[in-house]
Structure 1
Amino acid sequence: MRRISLFLVLLISVLSLAACTEALPTAEEIVERMETAREGMNDAHATVAFDFTSPEQSGRIVVEGWMQKTGETDAAGKPVGRMRVEVLEASEAAMVGTIAVSDGATFWLYNPAENTAITGEAGQMKDAMQATPAGAATMLTDIIAQGLDAVNLEVLGTEQVAGNETWKVLVTPKSETTAQLQLDGIIEGTMWVDTELALPLKLAVDARDFGQGTMEVQSIETNSGLNAEIFAFTPPAGTTIIQAEELMAQMSQRAPTAATIEEARTSVSFVLREPTYIPAGMTLIEVRVVGTSTVILNYSGDTGSMSVVQSNEDVGRDREPPTGSVVEEVTVDGVPATLISGNNGQGSLLRWEVDGIRYVIAGTLSGDEAIAVGEGLE
């Protein structure tokens, strides 16, 4: 369910983007056209393909989605909308048939493979999704939604996308936005915007260590007069119903909390180890503790970033190598380990286990550096 929620929120964000954003050759015109398109669009029906590569896994998802304005506003004065997304194709077969629906008052997230459904108030949908790792695309589209004050836009020229003429626009968060959202400068996106419809037909996101993704609208129609019944959902008989509030409470208990090294030592039942070798230019910037089982040491600097994870739970083992990566069986202090390196040689993930404790080192460092960090743990 965690992976399904992750991928759906990425794709839902894209549908929202396709319904609400656009671009022109100057930043001022971009904002004006975005507002005009958003105000003039009452409904949309689209098919979107998403290809992604991350340290955890790679794959492809194709969804069909519908959105419609209700004509109402919430307590904050924002328009209330309905939406529905269905997974048509997916690299992970269990995701096919997954449905996310909101009628503006209640939302459902149904997984047929597990026969489970998460439900709650429509206002909780985004929060429930954010309780899972939402990924770079969600962060970028949220940033774009904040408007011109949050991003830098640069028109790179025109290109053909699926036979349509588009403007190619580079989107990057401004420095103050990066600091506010603690993005550490990791996100960069490119939009290809239809010059006639003034709607994005394609979005590419580069989140460096977190991965890359490309989302492309395969078909779209707007203001076709959708039937509100599309946004109704009744779970099949026998479905296990999970309340969003309960899920969010469980996730909050598992959310990492900031700590010092000494606090982290007393929070877990195993002996916490620190690296004696750290790649040049990197320093410890954060210590995160997850429950009583996992500690994450985050390092960053001008030369890159790195995370050292230690846990008595099964972490990192289910990460599938990204497409084009190199997988090697190596040793760390004589213990068998797996090293996954990016095809450009600039990123690595190293994992191994000693006495029931799992170790993962990942970041913008070479394989040799990752091994050196692992062998230097004390």
Structure 2
Amino acid sequence: MKCKILLVLFLMCIALFNSGCIGEGLTADQIAEKMEEKQANIEDTSTTVHMIVTMDDEVRETEIKMIQKNPGMSKSVVFMPEEMAGQTTVSNGETMWIYDPATDQVTVMPLPETPDDFEMDYAAAIGSILNESDVSLLGTEEFDGRDTFVLIVVPKEDDSSFGSDMKVWVDEETWTPLKIEMEIEDEYNMVVEYRDFEVNTGISDDEFEFEIPDGAEVIEIDDFEDLFPVDMGLDEIKQASEFEVLVPSYVPEGYGLDSASYSQTSIVSGVKESVTLFYSNEDEMILVSETFYDGEKDSNSLSMMEGETVSVNGEEAELYTMYGGTMMLQWETEDAIMSISGSLDADEMIQIAESME
């Protein structure tokens, strides 16, 4: 979700300021052309991304140092939260390295080739954004030593690409967001700051080569496409998996198994396999997910959300209410983290979980 929000804001800010005023009537094609002209002058960027997310009175702070260079080179190092400090992702445009110091594990994979004729449809993207948003200029302000425009971005519809009002500080020099504030119904607040933002400092290509630490475990992925789950029949998945795949014997009336996917490759530390079962009726879908670990399991993915502790077959489980009324039930087995999500009530969620065998 965060990447989508930042892309939307990036395109919108470029569109607004290249046109000077939305009301002047520049077409999306003209705006996109001006946008590409401006971005063509940027060879490299560096910044420290600082993000604070507050949800249900829980506060989570993240800080990541990021550098990028054309064509397609990038590096990010996590500083906060403490339990993720040192996690590093490096790409030289052809190979990506992902290092987790907590497990002393490096994942190495080739990156897919980008076709020469691949082009983003800026005109369509910008036109869509402008059509679903009201953007107003509050004024100018200095942020972190750079002159910025301050915008208010308001979605016209509840189902727009980003779903809430935002305040955005946009760099006058590069027309990229340097600060974003977003709040949803006093329950969710996010502030993202791009500190020490610099462009065209002559970053060396050497920054985008990763030296594997002595003694680190190396996991090599031969093909980037191996990371994507494969649709398989349930019997095929059970035969392929080295773990016991559980299947619910109960689902609500009207639901049936629509499809299933299987993956035995992951960049997440410790994950050996994952299975997802998709159940559907005419209008809704239920997702049953099983993530199998080799060693310690990571159950912190929903740590920013306040859950209700319930019982599944006498064991503790967490029940979360997601946006839009969707529920998610999560619990652990000996080898896996299990989850069920869908537009169901708590009793039905628990009944499905307790029927898994």
TM-score if structure 2 supplies the norm length?
A: 0.62
What is aligned with 2:77? 86
Q: For 1:285-364, what aligned pairs fall within 5 Å after superposition? A: 285-290=258-263, 295-300=275-280, 304-309=284-289, 318-320=298-300, 321-332=302-313, 335-342=314-321, 346-351=326-331, 353=333, 359-364=338-343
Kept in 1: contact 2:99–2:107 (CA 8 A) = yes
Tell me which amino acid in the other structure corresponds to 1:369: E
Q: Aligned equivalents of 2:189 and 2:285: distance in 1?
A: 17
Kept in 2: contact 1:274–1:377 (CA 8 A) = yes
Q: Aligned equivalents of 2:105 and 2:295: distance in 1?
A: 24
Query: Match for 1:147 among 114, 122, 127?
Result: 122
Query: Match for 2:251 among 277, 285, 299?
Result: 277
What is aligned with 2:269? none
What is aligned with 2:43? 42
Deviation at 1:324, TM superposition (A): 3.9
Kept in 2: contact 1:42–1:222 (CA 8 A) = yes
Alpha-carbon displacement from aligned partner over 1:10-49 (angstroms, at most 9, x marks no partner)? 88x979x979983323771542342122112123222212
Query: Where do 5+ consecutive residues of structure 1 fail to align?
Result: 1-9, 70-79, 128-143, 172-184
Kept in 2: contact 1:62–1:90 (CA 8 A) = yes
Kept in 2: contact 1:298–1:306 (CA 8 A) = yes
Change (3 A) 1:305 1:156: farther
Change (3 A) 1:51 1:230: farther
Kept in 1: contact 2:297–2:336 (CA 8 A) = no
Sequence identity of aligned pairs in percent? 19
Kept in 2: contact 1:117–1:242 (CA 8 A) = yes
Deviation at 1:242, TM superposition (A): 3.5
Kept in 2: contact 1:189–1:204 (CA 8 A) = no
What is aligned with 1:240? 216
Q: For 1:113-192, what aligned pairs fall within 5 Å after superposition? A: 113-118=102-107, 124-125=110-111, 145-149=120-124, 152-154=128-130, 155-158=133-136, 164-167=148-151, 188=162, 192=168
Deviation at 1:312, TM superposition (A): 7.2
Q: Aligned equivalents of 2:204 and 2:291: distance in 1?
A: 48
Change (3 A) 1:322 1:228: same
Q: Aligned equivalents of 1:316 and 1:303: distance in 2?
A: 37
What is aligned with 1:130? none
Change (3 A) 1:219 1:331: same
SS at match of 1:45: strand
Query: Where do 5+ consecutive residues of structure 2 fail to align?
Result: 17-21, 114-118, 265-271
Q: Aligned equivalents of 2:210 and 2:353: distance in 1?
A: 51
Q: Aligned equivalents of 2:136 and 2:221: distance in 1?
A: 45
Is 1:200 the equivalent of 2:177? Answer: yes
Q: Aligned-pair RMSD on alpha carbons?
A: 5.1
Q: Aligned equivalents of 1:312 and 1:103: distance in 2?
A: 31
SS at match of 1:374: helix
Q: Aligned equivalents of 1:156 and 1:107: distance in 2?
A: 39
Q: Aligned equivalents of 2:104 and 2:244: distance in 1?
A: 37
Alpha-carbon displacement from aligned partner over 1:37-93 (angstroms, at most 9, x marks no partner)? 211212322221245699xxx944212223334xxxxxxxxxx25433333x21243
What is aligned with 2:353? 374
Change (3 A) 1:304 1:322: farther
- The number of aligned residues is 311
Q: Aligned equivalents of 2:12 and 2:44: distance in 1?
A: 11
Is 1:23 the equivalent of 2:15? Answer: yes
TM-score if structure 1 supplies the norm length?
A: 0.60
Kept in 1: contact 2:63–2:81 (CA 8 A) = no
Change (3 A) 1:200 1:157: same
Deviation at 1:273, TM superposition (A): 3.2
Is 1:260 the equivalent of 2:233? Answer: yes
Q: Aligned equivalents of 1:118 and 1:358: distance in 2?
A: 22
Is 1:222 the equivalent of 2:199? Answer: yes
- Of Structure 1 and Structure 2, which has the larger fraction of its residues in helix? 1
Kept in 1: contact 2:250–2:351 (CA 8 A) = no
Q: Aligned equivalents of 1:352 and 1:241: distance in 2?
A: 26
Q: Aligned equivalents of 1:363 and 1:94: distance in 2?
A: 30
Is 1:231 the equivalent of 2:211? Answer: no
Q: Aligned equivalents of 2:88 and 2:245: distance in 1?
A: 43
Kept in 1: contact 2:61–2:81 (CA 8 A) = yes
Tell me which amino acid in the other structure corresponds to 2:349: A
